Amino acid sequence: MSIESDVIHRSEARLLTALGRHYVVLLRKDEPQLLAAIDAAILDLLAEKEIPYQEQLSLRADLGLLLARLQEPCRSILRSRYGLDGSIAEPAELGGSLEGSIREVPRRCLYLLSRYLLARSPEPVPPVADFAETPGSREPAGEPAVDPLGQLKSVVSATEDLRTASGRLSARKVAETFGLSVAELSRLIQRSRQAVSKTPDAESLQPALARFERIARLKAVLSESEFLRWLRMPNEQLDDRSPLDGLREGRADEIADFVEDMLAGNTT
Amino acid sequence: MTSERSLEALLEEIPVRRMQRRLVRCVPQLDFMAGLPPRFLYTSGRPNRCNPRDVDCLYFSENEWTANAEYRRQWRGTAAESQPRLTFFARAHLRKIIDLENEDVTAALGLTVEDIFGSWRLSRRPTLLQQLGLAISRQRSIAAIRFPSAALRDRNQAGWNLAIFPLSLQEPDRVEILGKSGDVLEQLP
């Protein structure tokens, strides 16, 4: 990739401009190619030897800030991939093995990173909706693409009690927080009670439990008892159903979105 | 119902106007200012009244009265409804917005009262307002929809909100989050 380093001085602008160009060119092509190009652009920039050391540090710091907006495990996976947890020489080594290594990075992590980058690109880019409509590319609604609320200490600490020592969400703790039995929670996440009881913090349960964690963020504002009351209270914004009714109807994403609107102060 | 394609065509000829004013949003007292840097102008692509899923949109009210009513509606029935909250202000300079207070606009779009104030959270299909938001996000001329507050309508009062589409903002459009002394904390585009 050629970089006009005499024109673009700020490393973040350099990163965003390069990625914006790739995005516009590749938008109409298939998604794996787009994500591979974004990944390659980042690796190329990190590996570029002509960038002064100070600017290289600055570039890494900016990338670190961008990745901080992603949730785990994507944050750790991409930090590791781009060498932000190691020495400055490591990304250059990674850059050489792009063709094979792209398969090892979860597509979803790159997708989430690309959404955040493109929303901030200094160049006009087509709307994200176009990308989302590419066949097979629609983001599952469970986790936010970017999650500034998840960076707030008060929000993080409000849901710490849903996790085990391993850091994973526990179905047992989620059930307790929501005032449900493990059997009922198992039904809501469409798993067998036996499987959930056996390994309540199983990796395979994490995506489903993440929706409940987003809802439990409300405890950053409400007490435990108020949260339980809110869950069971008819709500005009849910057509007079309670949030728990919504969960029972399989609308966990919509209830989690509602909570995000409450915490972010969005209009109704 | 107006189709997506015809909405995009309608945007070419629909009446628009400028907007230059202060905007307001009320949020719970969380540690929003603790982030480095603080992030107010974030969008998650989550659906809301004027945008379907995966279309980024920022929501504000036109004054504190309306912002408070919106806040209270979100938290209705909980202690937070009447607890202290954080109010932050933005300044918007927008060349072209669609104003739903203009009857010519609502007539051209075929919007009914139900389309504007109706329930949308559990809707299985994008509402007409959300389809309008999608059409706006696909062009680079109109940057926002001014729409009436459902929270104030509940009280038989009137107030207005603004849905801003960040990816449709083009210089000299500008949205700025203001700090305590009026300094700019964050800015789009």
Nearest chain B CA: its distance from A141 CA (Å): 9
Longest CA–CA separation in chain B, Å: 47
How many Å apart are CA A167 and CA B2, to the nearest integer? 48
Find the closest chain B residue to A226 by CA distance.
Answer: B78
pLDDT tens digits for range A149-163:
777 788 888 898 999
Task: Report DSSP letters for B105-163, one per residue.
Answer: HHHHHT--HHHHHS--TT-SS--HHHHHHHHHHTSSS--EEEEE-HHHHTTT---EEEE
A30: which 2 tokens? 């298939």
* pLDDT of res. A12: 52
Sign of CA dihedral B33, B38, B39, B40: positive
CB proximity B150 to A under 8 Å: yes
Task: Report DSSP letters for A148-210, one per residue.
Answer: GGGG-HHHHHHTGGGB-TTS-B-HHHHHHHTT--HHHHHHHTT--HHHHHH-TT-GGGHHHHH
* pLDDT of res. B150: 93
Residue type, A161: D
Nearest chain A CA: its distance from B121 CA (Å): 6
* pLDDT of res. A31: 65
Q: How confident is the prediction for chain A on average, in pLDDT? A: 74
Most confident of A27-36, A71-80, A145-154, B68-77: B68-77
B135: which 2 tokens? 């059409």
A116 pLDDT exceeds 60?
Answer: yes
Domain ranges of chain A: 11-132, 148-264
How many Å apart are CA B164 and CA B55, to the nearest integer? 11
Domain ranges of chain B: 4-188
User: Which of the residues in chain B have pLDDT under 50?
Assistant: 1, 36
What is the residue whose two structure tokens read 């915490």?
Answer: A263
Whether the Cβ atoms of residue A214 and residue A260 lie closer than 8 Å to each other: yes
* pLDDT of res. A221: 92
What is the total residue count of chain B? 189
Cβ of B54 within 8 Å of Cβ of A139? The answer is yes
How many Å apart are CA B178 and CA B92, to the nearest integer? 11
Nearest chain B CA: its distance from A117 CA (Å): 12
CA distances from A51 to A58, A82, A146, A188, A209 (A): 10, 16, 29, 52, 43
Task: Report DSSP letters for A247-260, one per residue.
Answer: HHTT-HHHHHHHHH
How many Å apart are CA A9 and CA A141, to the nearest integer? 37
Percent pLDDT > 90 in chain A is 32
How many Å apart are CA A201 and CA A225, to the nearest integer? 24
A209 pLDDT exceeds 60?
Answer: yes
- Strands B58-61 and B144-148 turn out to be unpaired
Q: Which of A128-142, A194-208, B150-164 is least confident?
A: A128-142
Among A152, A221, A265, beta carbon nearest to B25:
A265
